[in-house]
Amino acid sequence: MRRAIMAGNWKMNKDPAEAAELVKALVPAVKDARCDVVVCVPAVDFFTVRAAAEGTNIKLGAQNVHYEASGAYTGELSAGMLKACGVEYVIIGHSERRQYFGETDKTVNLRTLSAVAAGLTPIICVGEMKEERISGYTNALVEYQTLIALNGLTAQQVQNVIIAYEPVWAIGTGLVASDGEANETIGVIREALQRKYGKDISQAVRIQYGGSMNAGNVKGLMAQPEIDGGLVGGASLKPAEFSAVVMYHQP
């Protein structure tokens, strides 16, 4: 059985003191979670979050990684730098990175290879625009994005990667793919993995849903057989809301 994973994406929110306060409030609320718990925070928060989460079940994640080990890449962080800061997970290819900062399927692949080589666990984001869903391109698009992102990895490496299906039209909008829509599209991703890497690998890969997951819709989404967790945006900035998502298994 795949173990669920709930990852909070804080985006560009919380200074170091605020970040520590949030994690300290979160620690007792999620200590009995039956899923993996990750907070992907701004780089300026790494050390205060790491300290606040030390000895707990909360793991540290980053929101981006560069594909080179070092060099003239102003403003970027390498996988080695992230590892040195105690980071274990990293989001790659979020739709906001693609939309605002020129991420492409090619650079997503390069960043994924770099992260895996350094021992980080990538959370690779794939998903369609509303127009693409309406036009019937969702399945072809998410298959392509997924397989390009993983190009160059061995089957053994692929089974430890996390995929996050994020319908772009549902990110930060309050709109959510229906439970059935999310499950169906994640099933398409898993089928693509099976064709490429075999059934055992496809069944091992954890695939999250991202796109306005919150305490109100988490149980319905997590009841779906293909959904292995969530990449949670706005709700992850509120300890009570995020802990309710993490503890979705409670009555």
pLDDT higher than threshold 90 for residue 175:
no
Query: Which sign does the torsion angle of CA 51, 92, 243, 4 carry?
Result: negative
pLDDT higher than threshold 90 for residue 174:
no
Indicate if 94 belongs to the active site. yes
The active-site residue out of 96, 128, 143, 166 is 166
Q: To which residue do tokens 């991420």 refer? A: 103
What pLDDT does residue 237 have?
98
Residue 90 phi/psi, 5° resolution? -150, 130
The active-site residue out of 66, 94, 128, 143 is 94
The percent of residues in the chain predicted with pLDDT above 70, rounded, is: 100
- Band (pLDDT 50/70/90 cuts) for residue 114 is very high
Indicate if 166 belongs to the active site. yes
Q: Stretch 229-242: mean pLDDT, rounded?
A: 97
pLDDT higher than threshold 80 for residue 99:
yes
pLDDT higher than threshold 90 for residue 212:
no
Q: Stretch 228-248: mean pLDDT, rounded?
A: 97
pLDDT higher than threshold 80 for residue 171:
no
Sorted by where each begins, the domain ranges of the chain are 5-246
pLDDT higher than threshold 80 for residue 101:
yes
Query: Which sign does the torsion angle of CA 228, 150, 97, 41 carry?
Result: positive
The three-state secondary structure class of 163 is: strand
Q: Stretch 102-116: mean pLDDT, rounded?
A: 98
pLDDT higher than threshold 90 for residue 176:
no
Strands 89-92, 121-126: pairing is parallel
- Band (pLDDT 50/70/90 cuts) for residue 250 is confident
Q: Stretch 45-54: mean pLDDT, rounded?
A: 98
pLDDT higher than threshold 80 for residue 251:
no
Fold of domain 5-246: TIM Barrel (3.20.20)
pTM above 0.85, yes or no: yes
Average pLDDT, the chain: 96
